[in-house]
Chains A and B, each alone.
Chain A
Amino acid sequence: MELVVQGILLGGLYATVALGLSLVFGVIKMVNLAHGEFLVLGGYVTSLLVVSLGGDPLLLAIPAALIVGALAYPLQRYLLTPLMRHSTEAPITATFGVSVVVQTVLLLVFTADPRTLNAPYAASQVEVLGVGMRTTLLIATVIGVALVIVLDLTLRRSRFGRQVRAAAFDPDAAGLVGIDLKHTYAMVLAVAAAVSAIGGALIALSFSVDPVAGTGWLLRAFTVVVIGGLGSARGTLAGGITVGLVETIAAAVFGAQYRDVAVFGALVVVLLLRPQGLFAKVQRA
């Protein structure tokens, strides 16, 4: 029971972490290898804001999200979208380059030491269903669920959401009816980066971030997306909870050092068991 609650709470955090990747993958049909760096960057920017301005890290995660989102917009508009015409590998390679650039810059500026965000509630525990849980994980889950709902509603109800869904469904037709694809794609990456930055702040609050942590988180996020389905905010939540449960249970059974092995192993297994369905979507894109 304790494990289940822990796993579900971890899953809420994972959903936040994976939401941006899922959005980009679902709409732009592009694998963003720099996704992990959006997360890490979010953690670092929030931490910088906390140090320079002072205040609650959760509140400061919002301006941090705006900053990271603003960085992501030109990245998509002037680098990645033009590359998509060339081949499918070109944008992947470019995001790989971006991820190395961000990692190295963070290493050069902040050194390799891990960073944590501190808040009065960071170390405290609360009782959930009779199980003692870390408050930060609970907060992360609440924020994660809230983000999922907001994003889901935005995609389904708002004008911007309709444009995004049209662009995802049929880019050519969307372009014909006057949707500015370049702008829409760039906005999607910016929103994804902003959501990821909040995820990064939550990671820094619950665990820690270091300059090269992005790769591991990228794969975790990818596992969530693969399990949960593409471009669906609610699926991402389901995927996040699944991965959270798998990880918590694996850690309890095999030992905490096998967490990563379990998650990445699950990723490989799921990819292999459902290659056709997933593959068909990529080909048509």
Chain B
Amino acid sequence: MTDLTAPRASRAPRALARLARYGAPLLVAVALLASSEGLRLATVNQLTSLLLLAVLAMSWNLVSGFGGQFSLGHSIFVGVGGYATAVILDLLGLPLVVVLVLSGVIAALIGVVLAYPMLRLRGPYFAIGTLGLALAVQGWMLNWDFTRASQGYSIPLDQSVDLLTVMRIAVVLALVAVIVSQLIVDLPLGLRLLALRDNEDGALALGVRRLRTLLPTWAISAFLVGVMGAVVALQNGQVTPQSAFSIQYTLDAVIICVIGGLGTLYGPLIGAVAVFVLRQFTADFAGWASLIEAIIVILIVRFAPDGAMGVLSGLSRLVRRALVRRRRLEASSSTESTREGVAA
């Protein structure tokens, strides 16, 4: 969004900026992968959790931030991805990468099947409909023999993955999520999404197709969340319907995106770090973290509706304006001096 309003630079710096935007996350990911060897196991586990939160928030942001469809049903995909991974590893024992991708694909397919009817709902109806769906699915899973409700579905020991590898997978997944988000914003699909969100009638009149825009975005989002759920399952070594289909995942995504900035590229990242740090600090006082988070959410919605990214871009706008003003002052003083020269 900030890209659209920013003053247009000439072509070469723009290409450079784009290179930096795609290159920087890549560098960070490579650095993380390279330095992960010596980390303490607890740190590895924490980093994994942080990265997974960020992936969840970024994926939700695609549909709900950029697309404006307030989904309260994303927990379904976490559960589907987790169960897909556990079951495939247990029954088929395919290579890990294949299993992860397959879990994402299954989540995306289920996502499309669910979204096709759900996307007919608008605004609050979509939110409530997806929430109903999420709770109905969880209620079903809790009572289905297949999910082994009470004891959960364990990942077989000979297939289990050590935490360091899990973290590396999470790093790669987060990188993919960042790149995909940026691609969507840079491609026409992103413009169509924003157009639909900001003025649906106008966008439709200009020829934007609603389902054709929202369905692929939804599928990508479901895919990423499905893989994220798969990694959560690997991290925990097992899946239970209670935790894997918990709507807490959806709530986390909402809280993180609102705090960081709904519908911004880096908002979910900032929000994920903020929420994660808060949770680390309040780990000894159960419940306080969500209280503080919820109060921050209310304050942000009331006083800074664009979240942390909104505050940041507001600050940068102030700085830029100050710079421009100074440059103008300098320019006007220099023209005055030349005028004096001409007069003389």
Contact = CB atoms under 8 A, between A and B. Distances in A.
Interface string A239-277: 000000000000000010110110011011001100100
B132 A268 contact: yes
B121 A79 contact: no
Interface stretch (B22-30, B122-130, B326-334): B122-130
Contact of B132 (A100, A101, A267): A267
B136 A282 contact: no
A105 interface: yes
B112 to A, nearest CB: 16
Contacts of A155: none
B297 interface: yes
A31 interface: yes
Interface string B111-138: 0000001101111110111011101100
A275 B120 contact: yes
A223 B142 CA distance: 21
Contacts of B274: none
Interface stretch (B100-108, B224-232, B298-306): B298-306
Contact of A107 (B143, B247, B287, B293): B287
Interface string B249-292: 00100110010001000000000000000000000000110110
A104 B287 contact: yes
Contacts of A86: 305
Contacts of A260: 135-136, 139
B294 interface: yes
A205 B238 CA distance: 38
Given A94-B302, A101-B298, A215-B247, A268 B124 contact: no
B139 A92 contact: no
Nearest to B124: A31
Nearest to B200: A283
Tell me which of A79, A101, A268, A283 has the highest count of chain B C-beta atoms within 10 A of its own C-beta. Answer: A268
A31 B128 contact: yes
Contacts of B298: 79, 94, 97-98, 101
B125 A104 contact: no
B10 to A, nearest CB: 35
Interface string A99-128: 011011101100000000000000000000
A163 to B, nearest CB: 24
Task: Name the interface size band of chain B.
Answer: 35 or more
Interface in B8-54: none
Interface in A43-63: none
Contacts of B125: 271, 275, 278-279, 282
B135 A100 contact: no
A146 interface: no
Contact of B297 (A100, A105, A222, A223): A100
A101 B122 contact: no
B220 to A, nearest CB: 21
A158 to B, nearest CB: 29
B136 A265 contact: yes
A101 B299 CA distance: 12
B295 interface: yes
A156 to B, nearest CB: 26
A135 interface: no
B70 interface: yes
A83 interface: yes
Given A83-B301, A268-B136, A271-B125, A92 B70 contact: yes
A52 to B, nearest CB: 24
Specify which of A93, A265, A282, A283 lies most central, judged by the most chain B CB atoms within 10 Å of its CB: A93
B124 A92 contact: yes
A87 B70 CA distance: 13
A97 B294 contact: yes
A92 B287 contact: no
A258 B132 contact: no
A278 B120 CA distance: 11
A90 interface: yes
A88 B290 CA distance: 24
A219 interface: yes
A89 interface: yes
Contact of A279 (B122, B294, B297): B122
A251 B143 CA distance: 13
B302 A261 contact: no
B135 A264 contact: yes
Contacts of A219: 128, 131-132, 135
Contacts of B258: 93
A271 B291 CA distance: 32
A34 B100 CA distance: 37
Given A264-B136, A268-B133, A282 B305 contact: no
B302 A268 contact: no
Interface of A: 31, 79, 82-83, 86-90, 92-94, 96-98, 100-101, 103-105, 107-108, 215-216, 219, 222-223, 226, 255, 257-258, 260-261, 264-265, 267-268, 271-272, 275, 278-279, 282-283
23 contacts: A31-B128, A79-B298, A92-B70, A92-B127, A96-B297, A101-B294, A104-B294, A108-B291, A255-B143, A257-B139, A258-B140, A260-B136, A261-B136, A261-B139, A264-B139, A268-B132, A268-B136, A275-B120, A275-B122, A279-B121, A279-B122, A279-B123, A282-B122
Which 10 pairs of residues, A with B, have the shortest CB-CB distance? A100-B294, A264-B136, A31-B124, A97-B298, A97-B297, A104-B291, A267-B132, A261-B139, A260-B139, A264-B132
